[in-house]
Chains A and B, each alone.
Chain A
Amino acid sequence: MTLPVKFTEDVRALPTHAFGHRSLTWWGVVAFFLIEGTAFALAIGAYFFLEGVEDNWPPDPWLPPGLLWGTLFTILILASEIPNTIVKRAAERHDLATARRYMLILLPIFGLLLLFRALEFTTLNVRWTDNAYGSIIWALLFLHLTHIVTDIVDSLVLTALIHTGHAAENRRIVDIAENAMYWRFVWLTWLPIYALIYWVPRWVS
């Protein structure tokens, strides 16, 4: 015989969405940061291991990667945090119109970033098959590219979604806010990788 139930707590007034650590999406994204952050940490560890066992970095006769596209990429991705912050804050105050407008503004920025990233691969001055230095440089840039592509696809899908009737659903506005948080992870992880690909080979050689 199981115990008879007694209703002691009514939750009907509770909201069906919340931001930040009250949202399951937020916890999912943070767990994703931990996993992917570990992948970056392992790649950075591999970079310094290889750098330590080589006589020169980059090994002779290779030249360090060209600075132009990587630096333009860095400036643009830092600047993209301005519309990204506007999107996040708009989402958190349920201002769907502003979030929508600035997500559209982000689209051409994403396009330019992809173009700069493609050009970065052409000016690395090494191929991944050449030596261990080339392998880890390509691995770092490709690893970060996967995050760029992932966030851009996420943003495209979300931008399309909030132009349908589903935009009225409360959890979509949480999706927008957490997607904006993911973009911060993408550009924050880029900063050390930018230094490792473009500047460490210049500083240590």
Chain B
Amino acid sequence: MMGERLGKAGFWMIFLGFQLAFFPMHLLGMWGMPRRVYTYPSGMGWDEMNLLATLGSFVVALGFLLFILNAVKSLYAGRVAEPNPWDAPTLEWATASPPPQYNFAHIPVVTSRVPLWDNRNHLPVVTGLRVDDRELLLTTVMDARPDVREPSALPSIWPLWAALSTTCLFISSIFTPWAVVIGAFPVGAALIAWFWPKSPLSPEPVIE
């Protein structure tokens, strides 16, 4: 966990320093100073506002320095964060920390806008998807009710071949229009091979 006090100090320095750095520039612009010049003649009445902007940029830089300091400090001496350290209500906080690569073993049920606050002691999840094959849950468009168990594709090398042959087609087409015609064959072959079902036919049992 990053430190709260250093974090708050850094936040306010970056937030307020930013206003201090950029607001004078709005005024300077209206007073006729062009953007993105590193110097200007003195006596144009721009000196004070530029001084303020410079001051603000230093405050922002210092704020970022505090942030980095905070990160380094917490890396070596900080408390280890729990999965949901700030008691946030949304789903991304329901997974473990660090999250497993599959994120959720079961698909969570969203009960409201603040699903994690609705059930404090358990996470409601969906059951009934196949566990012996890849399957996803599709929902209805407007109400997000479970609607279809969609079979999911297996890993395949063909998308890579499709991408490589498409790249070949377009780069070659710079040099000759015939590349579009000839290149269509490997692209077509890769797409067909990608589409063609590879899994052997099987019935569709549902594991309980």
Contact digits for A5-44, partner B, Cβ 8 Å, 1 yes 0 no? 1111111111111100111100000000000000000000
- Judged by a CB distance under 8 angstroms, whether A105 is at the interface is no
Smallest CB gap from B126: residue in A:
A9
Main secondary structure of the interface of A (DSSP, over half): mixed
* A8 in contact with B124 given A14-B147, A153-B192 (CB within 8 Å): yes
Chain B: interface residue count, which band? 35 or more
Contact A6 B149 (CB under 8 A): no
> What is the CA–CA distance of A135 and B147 in the complex, to the nearest angstrom?
48
* A169 in contact with B150 given A3-B123, A10-B127, A10-B128 (CB within 8 Å): no
Contact A166 B82 (CB under 8 A): no
Interface residue from B106, B137, B147 paired with A5 (Cβ < 8 Å): B106
Contact B149 A15 (CB under 8 A): yes
- The chain B residues found within 8 Å of chain A, CB to CB, are 82-83, 94-96, 105-106, 109, 116, 119, 121-129, 135, 137-138, 140-141, 146-151, 184, 188, 192, 195-197, 201, 204, 206, 208
5 new A-B contacts, CB < 8 A, other than A1-B82, A22-B140, A153-B188, are: A1-B83, A2-B123, A16-B148, A16-B151, A168-B201
A sample of 23 inter-chain contacts (CB < 8 A) reads A2-B95, A3-B116, A3-B122, A3-B123, A5-B105, A5-B123, A6-B124, A6-B125, A7-B124, A8-B124, A9-B128, A10-B126, A10-B128, A11-B146, A12-B208, A13-B128, A16-B151, A18-B138, A18-B148, A161-B197, A165-B201, A166-B201, A169-B201
